[in-house]
Amino acid sequence: MRPRRPRTIELAAVLVASALAASACSSSEDAAPTSTSDAPTTTEQTPDSTTETTEDLMEDDPSDGETGSRFDTTDGFEAVDCELLTNEVVATEVLSDDSIECGYVTVPADWETPDGDQIQIAAYLIPTTSDSPAADPVVYLEGGPGGAGVLAVGDFAQGAASYLRERGDVIVIDQRGTGYSVPALYCPEVNDEEDSDVAGHQACRDRLVADGVNPADYNSVNNARDLTAVREALGYDEWNLYGLSYGTRLALTAMRDEPDGIRSVILDSVFPVEVNGISESGYTLYWAIDQIAANCEADSDCDVDAKAAIEDGIQRLTETPIDGLAPLDYLSVITEMIAEPELMQIITNVAEGSEADIGEMVAELTMQAEEEELPPISEVDPSFYPVFGDAAGMGYSVVCAEEVPYLDATAGPTLGDDFRPTTQAVVKNGPKPFDPAACSVWDVPPAGDIATQAVTSDIPTLVLAGTADIATPPAWSRLTSETLANATYLEFPGLTHGLVGNNDCLNGLTAQFLDDPTAELDQACVAAFPAVDYQAD
């Protein structure tokens, strides 16, 4: 449903290799499921030992009851050894900083019935490195919907975003239904290679419901109310939200529904409440072509009519695909490479190059894609599910309630009229980012008109966008900033989806904002940020 937040190649390789090795060593009884009958329960998906419950983890935790915590948490936070909460590999490779503390906050499955079924939100506490820290931490909200926050912990603890812990604590959570929260709504039954695996969706839903899950509980409104409960359990009077992609929609929902305790908000690559991501999938392709053309026009060394060349290539491949490269495949390649130096060479090659040259290019791109591809979660031990993909069940619950019922209600911009008929036909018939057929079996109620209305708020907000973001184009971030009374909008040339920790300019500006969210930012470094530079032929 969305691009996965980038991880280092080395870390991904270690996690994938370890996960596959663990799965290969598992007995046939413990192997990840391929059908409803042998799928793990949602409780079993979380701990390393698939038979332990979260109560077992609390009892086994050697730190339980000790006072060595660096955090002044309340009784609402239940500390758990990080390795027991995740597994040995994730604890070693992702949660390797010994100062990180892990645990659960228990919340109602449905906040409208607080005395009903309870679920647990996994939280990862990264202590500040400052001797005089700010009292208000930053809490990170992962994208998706369905993404696991745990995979970002390393970035905030020791990686590119670790500058944030220099001012105060950083908190990362696995949102309800994701990561190592309990239950986690992963769907190994679904075959992602199929265009529409209705049977797989039904099998996943049937299993979750049999385990006591109500898919209707997993929505942005309940998700936002969880944030207040986590903040209070951790003992903070207020904190700062940092949302990425769907995490921005969650942050916006919290700004609307749960504003108390939110000191400031950073929205990174915004997915606005009022924009329907399914309806706008065509816009993102048109926008990407126009952005490539704009990049070329601004580059004195780029002497190509980029838009015409792209459409020439689409026309050529529509008439005769070359070495399996169809028009939509081509669009996918170039939109993911908006800011790559070699992009213009690919565009001119497809438009007018020889079939042999194009075939060589296709072979190289195919090899790269295969190297980066992860196995389906059905092939790995359940404790590695968060490493291999999003919690699809959480995604279905959100999208089927908040997007699919409102396909005609979107505030997103429109493009397309000035493109050739061939290009328009390719875009119109292209795949959507979500299969609405899943909603025919997921059976969750519509969220109501509030799911289509822009959020207004006076909470100080920093809105970040990159001009190479095909998932959430800059126009969406600008749109959001217009309805937030105290918003500052920053746009970075050539940066893609997810800007946290990307460069010194961005890091410095976010640090300035957090120090005083009401002060005017010195944006000189943004104005001096390098433009996209395409290589000449």
Tens-place pLDDT, residues 453-498 = 999 999 999 999 999 999 999 999 999 999 999 999 999 999 999 9
pLDDT band at 507; cut points 50, 70, 90: very high
* Residue with the larger pLDDT of the pair 41 and 399: 399
- What pTM, to 2 d.p., does this model score? 0.90
Token pair belonging to 103: 């645990």
- C-alpha of 404 from chain center: 19
Least-confidence region, from 59-63, 343-347, 462-466, 492-496: 59-63
DSSP state of 529: P
- Residues 65-118 pLDDT 10s: 444 688 999 999 999 999 999 999 999 989 999 999 999 999 999 999 999 999
End-to-end Cα separation, the chain, in angstroms: 35
Q: In the sheet where 118-126 sits, what is the strand order?
A: 77-80, 101-108, 118-126, 170-174, 138-141, 239-245, 262-270, 461-466, 487-492
d(CA 102, CA 151): 13
| pLDDT at residue 201, as a whole number | 93
Reported as a single tens digit per residue, the pLDDT across 138-167 is: 999 999 999 999 999 999 999 999 999 999
Per the DSSP assignment, residues forming a β-bridge with 141 are 243
pLDDT at 18: 65
> Strand 101-108 to strand 118-126: parallel, antiparallel, or no bridges (unpaired)?
antiparallel
pLDDT of 338 reads 94
Tell whether the model's pLDDT for residue 434 goes beyond 50: yes
Share the mean pLDDT of the chain. Answer: 87
Report CA-CA distances (Å) from 91 to 151, 165, 210, 290: 10, 20, 30, 44
pLDDT band, residue 14 (cuts 50/70/90): low
Q: 137: cis peptide before it, omega within 30°?
A: no
Q: How far are the Cα atoms of 124, 337, 525 from residue 344, in angstroms, in the given order?
A: 43, 10, 27
Name the residue among 513, 485, 509 with its Cα closest to residue 499.
509
Q: What is the pLDDT of residues 260-318, one digit of tens each?
A: 999 999 999 999 999 999 989 889 999 999 999 999 999 999 999 999 999 999 999 99
Residues 6 or more apart in contact with residue 343 via CB below 8 angstroms: 292, 334, 337, 534
- E strands along 449-505, which residues? 461-466, 487-492
According to the model, what pLDDT value does residue 394 have? 97
**414 token code pair:** 């429109």
